[in-house]
Chains A and B, each alone.
Chain A
Amino acid sequence: MKNLLPSPSRRQLLQYATAASALAATGAIPSIVQSAFADVTATPAPLPWRNWSGGQSCQPAMRAAPANETALAELITGAKTPVRAVGAGHSFSPLVPTEGTLLTLDRISGVTTHDPETHQADVLAGTRLAQMSDELAKRGLAFDNMPDINKQSLAGAVSTSTHGTGAEIGSLSTFLRSLRLVTASGDVIECDAKTKPEIYQAARVSMGALGIITKARVQARPLYKLKRRTWVAPVEEMLDALPELETKNRNFEFYYIPYSGMALGISNNETDEPETPVPVNEDDDGLRQLKMLEDWLGWSPPIRRWTIQKILGGMEPEERVDYSHKTLSTTRGVRFNEMEYHLPREAAPGALREIIETIEKTTSRSSSRSKSAPPRPTTSGSAPFTAARALRSPSINFMNGTTNPISKPSNRSSANIRAARIGASSTRWSRRILRASTPSGMIFWKCGRHSTQPASSSTPI
């Protein structure tokens, strides 16, 4: 039914709701405000390394940033072991921590050449995906897909089977056509599907185990545009429409907002329409207000649910047209930890419903977040997948308790594999919603395909 009255803006809605809920609040200072002003004075020395989310750390004896492949080969043979290479540190798995040598390929970066006929390009391993996308775009090229974070290095993203959405699109490792690898003995191996194919296939998602990738030839395609549509709907409506949404959209994903019954859908489809203006990030105030609203109404889950539904339910869909690397990848102002699970597609909706139920029944702001779920069978597959993310501590503690990560060593005897991914994208909508999310973060459904490499299923990034 169409509203007869003009709708207030989202910001106005948030302001009204926040003001109203503040009156009903207990008077306690929201934890987010307390933490925002927490002072930290300790200065560690020497500097430790931490990954992006802060979930992994180490104190390497040596750090090195070789300037080229030759320097890397010389260094690697005499370096204190274990030697680990790190890109942007976006893996949540313990791939990087070492007491030996930590290598960065930051100085080995850039797009060196491209072939306008085949649309293939040579990219140095340390090139960050955002930089690579910009350089490819200048050459009229783009990747067929991108992950929703583009800060990773190419080698890191490929080695960990970093992926985007899209049921018929492979992970970044599937875009490789050849690669160069420096082994632990300092030898340089160049391989592709015909030359040393066994090494090539294994090295594409080797997580650094076979050596350090220094360069890759990648398959791109002519630059193209996507129309990104973002909308809010009841989660049950989203789940019921999944088969259609997955097949009719080039890329599709959705986020569930715990305790709200609402989900944020995001689709991308190719278009020739003119680019639309880049959305201005004007919602920081709104985000804070929504977060405070969520905090202040934590004492009454039904009222919180009703209020958030009212706010989100009145929002109009948003559309943006831009080049693919700009609509597929996003900016993350909020760091988080993530768990990722692979399930048969048909099993995922039921699993997702169970996760939602588990989270909402077992947690609230004041309750324990460490309850363990009963053991569940582990299922992994190559194509359809779903994933779980959680915002930083303490959320990750809760998520670890209820749904053990399959890629992370755990004291628990079993893994409860359930469909979810928690995170957000860069639209104003989703940024707002992520920051307004509950302690358990966001549950995110993603349908896509990993590499055919078997190792991919255990490395969320």
Chain B
Amino acid sequence: MSGTGLKMILAALAFAFLLGCDDKQADLTPVTLDARLQGIYTHTCAACHADAETGAPQTHNVAAWAPRLSKGADVLLTHMVEGFNGMPPLGQCVECSADDLTALMHFMAAPDKDAKNRAPE
């Protein structure tokens, strides 16, 4: 087995374990956004989470999101609202509610609908 494959499996296991600790469970199932949230994602989140140069965890990069999710939903929401490191407050989404932010985060932390980007199960 290649080193990359092993890393992917370990990341998926860690991801699943960490999410299992969360009261609002996410899983490795791709998340679909409604049109409003998709627009918000495109206008705000994607500016950093779809640009690797920013250093932000990239959308659908399950391994990159796993250690973030391990902090727990409350901490993550606080970081999203107040800003944390390079993450600007509210992710620069002025109209977002707490539920919006959480949904957007789950969308980005989950695998892409495209199977080739999906972590091994």
A residues with CB within 8 A of B: 39-45, 47-52, 54, 63-65, 86, 88-89, 102, 104, 106-107, 109, 128, 130-131, 151, 278, 281, 284, 331-335, 426
Q: Secondary structure of the A side of the interface?
A: loop
Q: Secondary structure of the B side of the interface?
A: helix
B residues with CB within 8 A of A: 39-40, 43-44, 47-48, 51-55, 71, 74-75, 77-79, 81-83, 85-86, 88-90, 92-98
Closest beta carbon of chain B to A74's beta carbon, Å: 17
Contact of B40 among A39, A50, A106, A130 (CB under 8 A): A106
Which residues of B have CB within 8 Å of A284? 55
Contact of B74 among A43, A52, A102, A131 (CB under 8 A): A43
Closest beta carbon of chain A to B24's beta carbon, Å: 13
Contact of B82 with A128 in the complex, beta carbons under 8 Å: no
Contact of A151 with B47 in the complex, beta carbons under 8 Å: yes
Distance in angstroms between the alpha carbons of A426 and B52 in the assembled complex? 13
Contact of B89 with A40 in the complex, beta carbons under 8 Å: no
Contact of B78 with A50 in the complex, beta carbons under 8 Å: no
Contact of A331 with B89 in the complex, beta carbons under 8 Å: no
- Whether A41 contacts B95 in the complex (CB less than 8 A), given A89-B88, A331-B53, comes out as no
Contact of B92 with A88 in the complex, beta carbons under 8 Å: yes
Contact of A64 with B95 in the complex, beta carbons under 8 Å: yes
Distance in angstroms between the alpha carbons of A331 and B74 in the assembled complex? 28
Distance in angstroms between the alpha carbons of A128 and B92 in the assembled complex? 11
Contact of B78 among A43, A63, A334 (CB under 8 A): A43
Which residues of A have CB within 8 Å of B71? 39
Closest beta carbon of chain B to A437's beta carbon, Å: 16
Distance in angstroms between the alpha carbons of A335 and B54 in the assembled complex? 12
Closest beta carbon of chain B to A193's beta carbon, Å: 31
Distance in angstroms between the alpha carbons of A40 and B79 in the assembled complex? 8
Write the chain B residue with the least CB distance to A45: B98
Contact of A42 with B78 in the complex, beta carbons under 8 Å: yes
A-B contact pairs, 5 of them (CB 8 A): A49-B89, A106-B44, A278-B53, A281-B52, A334-B86
Contact of A281 with B44 in the complex, beta carbons under 8 Å: no
Distance in angstroms between the alpha carbons of A51 and B39 in the assembled complex? 21
- Whether A43 contacts B81 in the complex (CB less than 8 A), given A64-B95, A65-B94, A104-B94, comes out as yes
Write the chain A residue with the least CB distance to B94: A104
Specify which of A39, A40, A64, A284 lies most central, judged by the most chain B CB atoms within 10 Å of its CB. Answer: A40
Contact of A44 with B82 in the complex, beta carbons under 8 Å: yes
Write the chain A residue with the least CB distance to B77: A43
Write the chain A residue with the least CB distance to B101: A47
Closest 3 A/B residue pairs (Cβ): A50-B89, A104-B94, A65-B95
Contact of A106 among B51, B53, B77, B94 (CB under 8 A): B94
